[in-house]
Amino acid sequence: MIKTEIQDAINEQINAELYSAYLYASMGAFFESLNLKGFANWMNVQYQEEVAHATRMYNYLNERGGRVILKAIDAPPTEWNSPVNVFEEVYKHEQKVTELINNLVDLSMGLKDHATYNFLQWFVAEQVEEEASADEILQQLKLLADNTGALFMIDRELGQRVFVDPNATPKA
């Protein structure tokens, strides 16, 4: 049986992951409104990943005999100044999620919950990838400045991203 303190913290993280999904859906809608279909696709894949993260935590709580308590999800922003501004927010958001995951790891270590500590290592590695991906796109966008041709090249590249469900692969 999972400890109440860990259960509550994971429930909070489930909410944070679902908020992330909601945020990326909003960003995708913003890019759709600009007819930047590749950027919208990238955000849609990101949305799916965040839902998969929440699902992974949901399933873990159930496996450990815990109780999932879903809470209201805050409304995300709907407007940004530019693609650069969006990816500045994406990068900042992923840094915040990393902090939340690290806090969960610290809590699991403090409570000597080895199973949860082990479970969270996947998320630690995932956040390294999430931050690197967001920062790479942000840096590319900053380099192109007002070059719309380059913007459309990045849009085309981002349109190639596909969702791979991390929950469909066997557990390590």
Q: How far is CA 137 from CA 7, 65, 83, 122, in A?
A: 35, 40, 10, 23
The tally of domains found in the chain comes to 1
| The pLDDT value given to residue 41 | 98
| The pLDDT value given to residue 1 | 86
| The pLDDT value given to residue 14 | 98
For residue 19, is it within any domain? yes
The arithmetic mean of pLDDT across residues 21-46, rounded, is 98
For residue 40, is it within any domain? yes
Q: How far is CA 155 from CA 33, 34, 50, 132, in A?
A: 14, 11, 21, 18
For residue 148, is it within any domain? yes
Res. 171: pLDDT tops 60:
no
The gap between the terminal CA atoms of the chain, to the nearest Å, is 22
Residues 94 and 8: their CA atoms lie apart, in Å, by: 21
Domain boundaries, position 10: 4-73+82-163
123 touches 167 (CB < 8 A): no
For residue 168, is it within any domain? no
Q: What is the CATH number of the domain that holds 66?
A: 1.20.1260.10
Residues 28 and 95: their CA atoms lie apart, in Å, by: 20
For residue 170, is it within any domain? no
Total Cβ atoms within 10 A of residue 140? 17
CB-based burial, 102-123: b 16+ in 10 Å, e otherwise = eebbebbeeeebeebbebbeeb
Rounded CA Rg of the chain: 17
Res. 71: pLDDT tops 80:
yes
Give residue-wise pLDDT tens across range 5-26. 999 999 999 999 999 999 999 9
Residues 20 and 164: their CA atoms lie apart, in Å, by: 17
Q: How confident is the model at residue 67 (pLDDT cuts 50, 70, 90)?
A: very high
For residue 86, is it within any domain? yes
| The pLDDT value given to residue 128 | 98
Percent of all residues in the chain with a pLDDT value above 90, rounded to a whole number: 90
Give residue-wise pLDDT tens across range 145-165. 778 889 999 999 999 999 999
For residue 23, is it within any domain? yes
